[in-house]
A and B are shown apart, each in its own frame.
Chain A
């Protein structure tokens, strides 16, 4: 998941403040709810439309977040004050990533040609997690192009154990093989 530097800063500040004040779970729930709302095509079309005045966006969003944790409401106000409404777009994943990092966990993907059983996924998550000393939450993605094997992508790291990756590696090694005088 790509998190830009600005969004990461706001998410970090919100996380720390929520952790200090003891409202972490409430804030997390609020952020998730907000992210789900913003993900709605109609909401995002309205919220990120340059023609809609910021005051209108703000009042609508404030009405939407009325029941949320005060810290989250403050953040929304601050974002509008600083003309950083764009941050709302990536706030959900950024906060989630930070929240998981706080628990020593990280999300990742495991790509395979066929669906993996939950036991396989857990086994992989355990093995990869041991290597990077983090709890790994894996999601299975199907990519028939891999032919066989798995590719695990966690935390900008890749373990390629797929047939496609092996073939590519073999092709590279063969093409760069040393040529000897016969």
Chain B
């Protein structure tokens, strides 16, 4: 990556040539007041909503309030360089970010400027897209039909996510929300071999809102170690950045994702997290003196999230014929927003808002997490409203049994705690439930391919594991899957290819269960 000398000279030549030429008339204003990351500007009569403004110190801002005699704007940089009386120039450009393949593997801020010290992005002016774009209309969409495999057994089996869906990840702090995201990103490697030029590859965008910078660095390291960074963009507006950058970062990420979606590719975007984004938005809006509503959030905090999440979509195959904006049909953008709850309170303002916008939620519970069930997914209250349509038939069939068995187990669990005599059927249900809970446990950074998930869940629901000691289920799973990979590779391939669990495959799994149990002496 080098700056070509000719390129520089040509710019210089153009600049020198046009020196005597016509100079355009710019709209300017004067800073009336500045503080707390917002500025009021006099003048700028033809300023547009969301227009990028340039302050004299090189700081940029976004116009958000167009009032009778002034323009309220948020600063996207340090306010210390801006003083009263400074000149402000309009740019005639709605705030926009670079998009495209050049961003893959990079860490950028909310304006698309690289943060990873790996030099400027190889993008052209055409690659810049406004951060707020209308979501696809009704006719330009189609229902969810393809699965987005997270590689997490509990999710893929019971709360399946389809491409183009919006699934909320909700839970208290320290319940594994970000871990779930990392696993999902790593798991996308199976879709296209981790090669971003493969059209089948699901590209990932992780938007870190008000996260600790150390967390972001750790995440990037993890993804790099897993070879997942090549198809991932990290948009970081960390805790040190201005509140304006924090709330805009989600829209910036969405625009980067839409570019791929509109080219017919598949994207998974993670907003981590929307509660902090709402806090940043609240801060900016209160400083701009917009009227506060419930919990002092501005009145449009619902729209803040709904217009963002509405941009996740599965495009219709004929979308390019309807709207020339789309280069190809069938692309998708799946949104997995995160909302952090306080003390498990899902009925707070922001969580209820986002729950009502999304197509389901994955609820992570601190109690489960602390009792060793990790991922701490509460299967009882987690739902996916549309993802079932995208599940492969084999998984759908095995997961049906899993849901029922687990529900029965949870119901009986309360009684079992009294420890008195239980009849045989109850005991059997409890044993089965214990094994299934054990099966759904999973280590971090170890996503499981869907075919292996099907085999393991089938083994659990068919009762083959009932006699395996609960504490050794993990060990058994490892051995069984290793055996299936080595001795019977065509079973897994068959499931993937046909999508169904044939009787032969079932028999092969049951036979393998016997072999492995004998091996392990269970």
Residues of chain A at the chain B interface (Cβ within 8 Å): 2-5, 8, 131-132, 153, 156-161, 166, 169-170, 173-174, 177-182
**B8 engages A174 (CB within 8 Å):** yes
**B15 engages A166 (CB within 8 Å):** yes
- Once bound together, how far apart are the Cα atoms of A3 and B43, in whole Å? 10
Binds A, one of B18-26, B247-255, B473-481: B18-26
Closest-CB distance, A94 to chain B (whole angstroms): 11
Chosen A-B contacts, 26 in total, with CB atoms closer than 8 Å, are A2-B30, A2-B32, A4-B69, A156-B27, A156-B28, A156-B29, A156-B44, A156-B45, A157-B25, A157-B28, A158-B28, A158-B87, A160-B26, A166-B15, A166-B19, A170-B12, A174-B11, A178-B124, A179-B1, A179-B3, A180-B2, A180-B4, A180-B122, A181-B1, A182-B2, A182-B4
What are the residues of chain A within 8 A of B29 when measuring CB–CB?
Answer: 156
Closest to B6 in A: A180
Closest to B3 in A: A179
- Say yes or no: is B504 at the interface (Cβ < 8 Å to chain A): no
- Say yes or no: is B411 at the interface (Cβ < 8 Å to chain A): no
- Once bound together, how far apart are the Cα atoms of A180 and B102, in whole Å? 11
**A161 engages B122 (CB within 8 Å):** no
Interface positions of B from 277 to 311, Cβ below 8 Å from A: none
Mark each residue of chain B from 36 to 71: 1 if its CB lies under 8 Å from any CB of chain A, else 0. Answer: 000000111100000000000000000000001100
Closest to B102 in A: A179
CB-contact partner of B23 in A2, A8, A156, A159, under 8 A? A159
- Say yes or no: is B119 at the interface (Cβ < 8 Å to chain A): yes
- Once bound together, how far apart are the Cα atoms of A182 and B5, in whole Å? 10
Closest to B43 in A: A156
Interface size on B, residues (CB 8 A): 33
What are the residues of chain A within 8 A of B42 when measuring CB–CB?
Answer: 2
What are the residues of chain A within 8 A of B11 when measuring CB–CB?
Answer: 170, 173-174, 177
- Say yes or no: is B372 at the interface (Cβ < 8 Å to chain A): no
- Say yes or no: is B92 at the interface (Cβ < 8 Å to chain A): no
CB-contact partner of A158 in B2, B3, B8, B25, under 8 A? B25
Closest-CB distance, B9 to chain A (whole angstroms): 11
CB-contact partner of A8 in B24, B45, B69, B120, under 8 A? B69
CB-contact partner of A5 in B1, B68, B119, under 8 A? B68
Instruction: Given the known inter-chain contacts A178-B122, A179-B122, please indicate yes or no for A157 contacting B27, CB distance below 8 A.
Output: yes
Interface positions of B from 120 to 141, Cβ below 8 Å from A: 120-124
- Say yes or no: is B7 at the interface (Cβ < 8 Å to chain A): yes
- Say yes or no: is B163 at the interface (Cβ < 8 Å to chain A): no
- Once bound together, how far apart are the Cα atoms of A161 and B29, in whole Å? 18
- Once bound together, how far apart are the Cα atoms of A132 and B7, in whole Å? 36
What are the residues of chain B within 8 A of A156 when measuring CB–CB?
Answer: 27-29, 43-45
- Once bound together, how far apart are the Cα atoms of A174 and B28, in whole Å? 23
Closest to B4 in A: A180
- Once bound together, how far apart are the Cα atoms of A132 and B45, in whole Å? 14
- Say yes or no: is B259 at the interface (Cβ < 8 Å to chain A): no
- Once bound together, how far apart are the Cα atoms of A179 and B119, in whole Å? 9
Closest-CB distance, B404 to chain A (whole angstroms): 57
Closest-CB distance, A153 to chain B (whole angstroms): 7
- Once bound together, how far apart are the Cα atoms of A131 and B22, in whole Å? 12
Closest-CB distance, A165 to chain B (whole angstroms): 9
What are the residues of chain B within 8 A of A174 when measuring CB–CB?
Answer: 8, 11
- Say yes or no: is B89 at the interface (Cβ < 8 Å to chain A): yes
